[in-house]
Structure 1
Amino acid sequence: MKTCLIVDDSKVIRMVARKILQELEFATEEAADGQEALNACLAKMPEAVLLDWNMPVMDGIEFLRALRQTPGGDKPVVVFCTTENDLDHIQEAMIAGANEYIMKPFDSDIIQAKFQQVGLI
C-alpha cells in the first residue's frame, strides 16, 4: 500500500484529506507543520506528500526545499494543496520541486485526478 503524508495545520483539512486518500487505498500519516512533516519523512519516506503552504513553525515551501535536500527526498511526489493561487506562488512551488498544485477547497475527484496525473494511482 502506498503512503501519503498529509501536511496541514488544519485538523479538519487533514481529516477530509485522510478520508479521501484512504478511499484511494493510501496509508496516511499526518503532520501539523513543516517541521513535523520533515521529521516524519526522515523517519520513513512516504511515496506522496499532500502539502499546505501556510503553516506555523515551518511553512510548506520551506519544508519542500528541506525535503528535496535530504537523502531520498527527491522520491516523494509532492502535491501542494493551498489557497495560494497566484502565478508567483505556483511557480515558486514548482521550482522548489513540487510535482502538482491543487487549490483549496478540494474534493475527492480533484485529488484523484491529480494523483493519476503524477502516476500515483
Structure 2
Amino acid sequence: MLHCFIVDDSDVIRKFTRLIFESLGFRVSEADSPIAALERLRTETPDYILVDWRMPGANSIEFIAKIRALPLTRRPHIIYVVTENEPHEIKRAMANGADGFLLKPFNREIIEMKLTEIRVTA
C-alpha cells in the first residue's frame, strides 16, 4: 500500500487531503509542522510527502532540503502545495528537491492527475 505524508498546519486541509488519498487506497500520515514531520521521518519513509508552502515559524523550502538530506530507505516524491502560482517560489522548491507542485484548491481528480504526472516523469 502506498503511503502519503501530509505536512500542513491546517487541520482542515490535512483532513480533506487525507480523505482524498484514503479514497485512492493510500495509507496516510500527518504532521502539523516541519519539526513534527522530521521526527516522524526518522521512523518511516512515505512514498509521497505533501508540503504546504507557508507554515508558521517554518521555511518550507528549507524543510524540503532537510527531507532530501535525510538517510531515508528510498526517495519519496515531494509535492509542494501552494495557494498562489508564484513561479519563483515554485522554482526554488524544485531546486531544493520538490518533484512537483499542487495549487490549492484541489480535488480528487487533480490529485490523481498530479500523481500520474509525477510517476511518468520519475
Quick check: 21-30 or 68-77, which moved more?
68-77
Aligned to 2:17: 17
Aligned to 1:108: 108
What count of residue pairs does the alignment treat as equivalent?
120
What's the Cα RMSD here? 1.6
Deviation for aligned residue 1:34: 1.0
- The verdict on how the C-alpha distance between 1:63 and 1:115 changes in structure 2, with shifts beyond 3 A counting, is same
- Greater than 4 Å deviation, 4+ residue runs: none
CA distance in 2, matches of 1:11, 1:4: 16
Deviations 1:21-59 (A, max 9, x none): 001110000000111111111121111101101112433
Aligned to 1:76: 76
Deviation for aligned residue 1:101: 0.5
CA distance in 2, matches of 1:64, 1:38: 10
Given that residues 62 and 96 in structure 2 are in contact (C-alpha distance below 8 angstroms), is that contact kept between their aligned partners in structure 1? no
* TM-score (ref. length: structure 1): 0.92
* TM-score (ref. length: structure 2): 0.91
Deviation for aligned residue 1:74: 6.5
Deviations 1:70-113 (A, max 9, x none): 11276000011111421110100110110010111111111110
Gaps of at least 5 residues in structure 2 are none
